[in-house]
Amino acid sequence: MNRMRILALFVLLVTGSSILAAPPNYRVQFLPVPPGCQSYSLLHGLGEQDHIAGVLVCEGSAQRAVIWDRGVIAELGNFGGSSSFAYGLSPQGKVVGAAETPEIYSDNDHVQRPFVWVDGTLHDLDTLGGPLGGAVSINASGTIVGTCQPAHPDPRLGRLPYRACVWENDVVSDLGDLGGPDAFALDVNGRGWIVGSSNTTEPLPSGLGFAEHAFLFDGRTMRDLGTLGGLVSGAYSINGRGDAVGFSSTEEPRPQTYPVIHAFLWRAGTLHDLGTLGAPFSEAFDINDRGQIVGWSLVRTANGGVDRRAVMWDGNRIIDLNDVVPDSGSWVFRQATAIDEGGRILVNASQGSDWRIVVLIPRPQE
């Protein structure tokens, strides 16, 4: 699935103004899976009324989109292909995602269709005419955003571009871009504001492609949110107040080195660097209306290496979520993908080679 940018970002490798007086404390809830299976969450998979969307992976089978409804797991189905992926949830329990069909379009790759799942039925959302699409977020009004392809190649790329797509009343439209060929819509809030990323007109120094910047679309115009100093940024989530979070490169890499990537908060026209746990990489995946932000960061290990940790930014500090869950056993929390208004956090956790979705539930503060 590396041909879909929105999927490749999440395959398993797998600021507010006040400071809390004491670190938060959580209990952990493991979502059940059948024997021999693992699970992981993508973006926006934490819903109301104990609805959670994710992906199930079982021995000898492909990845399958699923929903947990009050702890009971149900598969969402597919369009006749092998793999499917669940992303966002609406307050009403509708699920959006992407599913393969049996049709091959090139190089043995399967056509992939965006979907919305409603009351047990999978509905095809259509694309702009091309073979690939994925729906990533849905708001309470039913507006859906994601990425899909048109029917014809972009001459600047020599291939089919990816476009930021919006579905309203079963009709798909192209949201537009910041001047470049590729664009990705990744979240929509209750006001209909949309965030994502888009190519700009600035060529990369390598000559292979264009700089990519985070954007915010407020219903009228698409605003370039800029970067933290590098050429690449993207926004994953927007809350009801219009605060956006995501990632940005902080500087241009030297030859044969990787760019430094930091999580950011965009608020009231300013991009804030959220920092890391000490190593050069972090990303922010979600923000609630209280300003709590979740994602992941690399941390340096005792042997000189790095490791991935799920984190929360709360006020002016970054918290390793592994430090605030006393009953996690030998599980390691690797990345936090969503947080709701009550402070519950959706996390991908690992124990050796086993991966599971867990929900961190705040304990009452004394």
With vertex at residue 275, the alpha carbon angle to CA 52 and CA 54, rounded to the nearest 5 degrees, is 15
Q: How confident is the model at residue 107 (pLDDT cuts 50, 70, 90)?
A: confident
When the pLDDT of each residue in the chain is averaged and rounded to a whole number, the result is 91
| Per-residue confidence (pLDDT) for residue 11, from 0 to 100 | 38
Phi-psi region of 188 (alpha: psi -120 to 50; beta: other; left: phi over 0): beta
- Give the residue-averaged pLDDT of 97-103: 97
Amino acid at 344: R
Interatomic CA distance for residues 136 and 167, integer angstroms = 11
Q: What is the pLDDT of residues 167-216, one digit of tens each?
A: 999 899 999 999 999 999 999 999 999 999 999 999 988 888 899 999 99
Q: What are the residue boundaries of the structural domains of the chain, listed by start? A: 28-362
Contact by Cβ (8 Å): 259, 251:
yes
Q: Where are the beta strands (DSSP E) in 239-316?
A: 244-249, 261-267, 270-275, 282-287, 293-300, 306-314
**Fold exhibited by the domain 28-362:** Methylamine Dehydrogenase; Chain H (2.130.10)
pLDDT of residue 9: 43
According to DSSP, the residues that pair with 121 across neighbouring strands are 118
pLDDT at position 273: 97
